[in-house]
Amino acid sequence: MLGEVESPLNGHDESETLSENVFRRIQAAIVKGEIAPGSKISEPELARTYGISRGPLREAIHRLEGQRLLVRVPHVGARVVSLSHAELIELYEIRESLEGMACRLAAERMTVEEIDELRRVLDTHERDAAFQAGLGYYQQEGDFDFHYRIIQGSGNRTLSQMLCGELYQLVRMYRIQFSNTPNRPRQAFAEHHRILDAIADRDGELAELLMRRHIGASKRNIERHYQAVPDRGEK
């Protein structure tokens, strides 16, 4: 291939670009459930699917392991994460505590401009076709994510690193998975508005309480799901 006779620097840059591209594509497929939880990861199959060599693919896989979207199973290899009922509840307990704290800090520290931007995020959510049809709520990431914006607005770097870095995509995966529960999208949207109003009023105590209740409601949603569908654990 022509790329193989380029300078080492160009080859390295191209490899990084390929790895980043396939990382984002596999990440999105896992988070959206297009690659099912518990699925075994086949490097040859992924290499063929995404038209990429094994080197950049392995870099992408390593990064996905760092985000806890892939796990290594002895004598099996990499699999898409599939949290048990207990592990998922633990994840939501962490969210309930840490995002509650982030909300309190955001009420104290977010600028008026940041709060206005957060309100515009909710306006965008409300116009989303899936939300209007009652099929789920807006699931874009980063600056378009209500929770992400609040965590960033807390001004606490360690908190942001934990919730917007290490755990972020894993949390998004399960937020999306349970987002189409009947009546939950509208209820969650109303809860978001009440949280935002508390932040705008600089009422950190109320903002924290409302966020904890909001995530607690999602946790109870998950518990009801597992009561209806017995947990088979990880395969």
Per-position DSSP letters for 135-170, written without gaps between them: S------GGG-HHHHHHHHT--HHHHHIIIIITHHH
Distance CA 38, CA 138 (A): 25
Is 55 in contact with 15 (CB distance < 8 Å)?
yes
Distance CA 215, CA 85 (A): 16
Query: Which pLDDT tens digit goes with each residue over 1-60?
Result: 323 333 333 334 455 587 898 999 999 999 999 999 999 999 999 999 888 888 889 999
Distance CA 189, CA 89 (A): 22
Cα dihedral value 184, 189, 195, 199, nearest 10: 160
The mean pLDDT of 190-202, rounded to a whole number, is 97
pTM, 2 dp: 0.82
Q: What share of the chain is helix, strand, coil (3-state, %, to 5)?
A: 70, 5, 25
Distance CA 106, CA 154 (A): 4
Cβ neighbours of residue 70 closer than 8 Å, sequence gap 6 or more: 30, 41, 61, 64, 78, 79, 80, 81
Continuous segment of H or E residues that includes residue 69? none
Is 146 in contact with 110 (CB distance < 8 Å)?
no
Tell me the C-alpha to C-alpha distance, in Å, between residue 52 and each of 20, 21, 49, 89, 131. 11, 10, 8, 37, 36
pLDDT reported for residue 184: 78
pLDDT reported for residue 10: 36
Query: Which pLDDT tens digit goes with each residue over 121-172?
Result: 999 988 887 777 666 666 778 999 999 999 999 999 999 999 999 899 999 9
Longest dimension (CA), the chain: 62
